[in-house]
Structure 1
Amino acid sequence: MAFKVIKPGLLALVQDLGRHGHMSIGLTTGGPMDEVAFRWGNALLDNEPNSPQIEVTFGMFTLEAQANTSIALTGADLGTTLNDKHIPPWQTYAIKKGDILAFHQPVWGLRAYLSVKGGFLCEPTLGSVATVMREKIGGLTGKGDKLQKGDVLRYSLGHHHERRSVPRLAIPNYGQTEIPVILGYQYKAFSPLERANFFSSDYKVSPNSDRMGYRLEGKAVHTDLKGIISEGIAYGAIQIPKDGQPIVLLRDRQSIGGYPKMGCVTRVGGGILAQQKPGDVIQFTPITVDQAEQERHLQMARFAQWR
């Protein structure tokens, strides 16, 4: 009762909602880069919200089913096929023993999520299966390894399948280029001109971007601060290093840092950003804490209403 990995692809990782409560000992949270897509995957199958899934980055990932089950695909369209027939994301599908599920290359977006009825069965490490390769923790082996050819992803046997799809209005727009930002307390360390430059400029996603952070290329932003005392790093923090090129810190971010920060992207905004490929262009737009909370409450209300 499992999927067997036939082709490992560029990067396929076991993830849940993250390893929380351990940043004081230097461990980051990990978890899905696109939380909205992850939550919808479990909601479609009536799984627990934290049930483990596979996050597939870019594609080239192939699995063979060894038992019947139901799956859900959410997130990016990676040209996924079931027995060589294209299947779009944001839906559930029945899987039979011997079926071949293959993720190819991005049609739109960058990261897809594969959830299975009941969730993948993995042993948690410090309360979570979230894979953080840099810290060598979590995942199928518990040592932070990405999925490899021959790995076996266990799940519970299931014969009942219900066809479902995410409401169209609830599907994120990965073509959105404006990323919402909550201003941080160091915002005033940047001059009015530098703030204007930051929010009026286009930034291109650098090839050096990864799960730790998205490096951006564009108009440099500077501050008179030479540095700050290292402090805890929140999800979505936008660091401005000495070269003035912003870095948005995401799921596998370091636990502390000493660069000035313009603010933080929201969870929803971070998910949209994580679906952008190197060379894609984004802009930042400021929002208030109240607006960010309303956005979050709306998303969570949609999940609750569905369930």
Structure 2
Amino acid sequence: MSRFRVLRPGPLSLLQDGGRHGWQHLGVSPAGPLDPHAAAWANRLLGNRRGAALLEIALGGLQLECLDDGWLALCGADVPIRLDGVPRPNWSRFAVRAGQRLELGFARSGQRVYLAVPGGFRGEPVLGSLACQAREGLGGLHGDGSPLREGDLLAGGLGDFPGAASVPWPFVPDYRASRPLRVVPAVGQEEVLQGFVARSWRLSPQSDRMGARLSGEALRLPPCEWSQGMVRGAIQVPPDGQPIILQADRQTVGGYPVLGYLHPLDCGRLAQCPAHAELRFVATDLETVQQEWRAFLRFFAC
């Protein structure tokens, strides 16, 4: 077993895994990592399954004391990483020794970094998952949806690796690059989507794990006549015309009209954008999204 004591939790550090599935009919959202790409790579570097429990660290600022020899991997936002004051590379795995201190600085680009250990972090599942969901008070290290606190003790497994390793550079995203996010139009909303992608939007600082709020020239959609099930990436348009892109901690049912659906991998790119970032979107088709998502799942052996 490898253990870590939390010396400084940072602004928001959450235990997440593959998500809490099979409970949406009771209003429980799946939760899980906001950036599935970075989280999956952190687990892959250690030979874990894609949904193994890991830490999602918002903005950085985490400090851990290593109580045992072990291994860990970090992928995601560009944060300074130091082990006993010595820099370590991001998007890589490396060994740690008992008594060493791991310190993460604050993000220079991107918003969330993922820290994994062999076998995943251990805890008591709630409704079959460790995923931390603060709004519903579920999961996390203490089972009540609370983030990490100073003094918390984290435990994971042990691994046997030939040495350090890094993610190949073509798979490491540049979070400073501005690329359009891809959207599949909802049925009957193709014309409205043309107006949505024709303008730029700003990411509101009121965004959170439940949804990314956009600000810009208001859209006008006819109201829905009934509520409908919600999925991650659904783009709702409330009466004020400012779209909301639902994320991992979304509600499971909603009555606002839905403009379209963000590509699952672009949900992760969106989660790495800072507040006030300028966002642009482009229309894509369902078949392309399905092919790319299947390729992602196959690559990470899901």
TM-score norm. by structure 1 comes to 0.93
In structure 1, the residue corresponding to 2:193 is in which secondary structure? helix
Structure 2 contact 185–193 (Cα < 8 Å) conserved: no
Which residue does the alignment assign to 1:77? 78
- Offset of residue 298 of structure 1: 2.9
For residues 23-172 of structure 1, the aligned pairs below 5 Å read: 23-158=24-159, 160=161, 162-172=163-173
- Is 1:228 equivalent to 2:225 in the alignment? yes
Deviations 1:114-139 (A, max 9, x none): 00112111111111100000000001
Amino acid at match of 2:198: S
Q: Which moved more, 1:267-276 or 1:81-90?
A: 81-90
- Offset of residue 109 of structure 1: 0.5
- Is 1:208 equivalent to 2:206 in the alignment? yes
Q: Which moved more, 1:172-181 or 1:281-290?
A: 172-181
Deviations 1:34-79 (A, max 9, x none): 0011111111111122210000001111111100111111111122
- Is 1:292 equivalent to 2:289 in the alignment? yes
Amino acid at match of 2:238: P
Which residue does the alignment assign to 1:197? 195
Structure 1 contact 70–161 (Cα < 8 Å) conserved: no
Deviations 1:75-128 (A, max 9, x none): 111222222233232111111111111121111110000001121111111111
Query: 1: distance between equivalents of 2:148 and 2:162?
Result: 27
Amino acid at match of 2:74: L
Which residue does the alignment assign to 1:182? 184
In structure 1, the residue corresponding to 2:166 is in which secondary structure? coil
List runs of 5+ in structure 1 lacking aligned partners: none
- Offset of residue 155 of structure 1: 1.5
Query: 2: distance between equivalents of 1:132 and 1:20?
Result: 13
In structure 1, the residue corresponding to 2:165 is in which secondary structure? coil
Identity of aligned residues (%): 37
Count of residues paired in the alignment? 300
Query: 2: distance between equivalents of 1:204 and 1:65?
Result: 40
Query: 2: distance between equivalents of 1:287 and 1:196?
Result: 11
Amino acid at match of 1:184: A
Amino acid at match of 2:124: E
- Offset of residue 213 of structure 1: 0.3
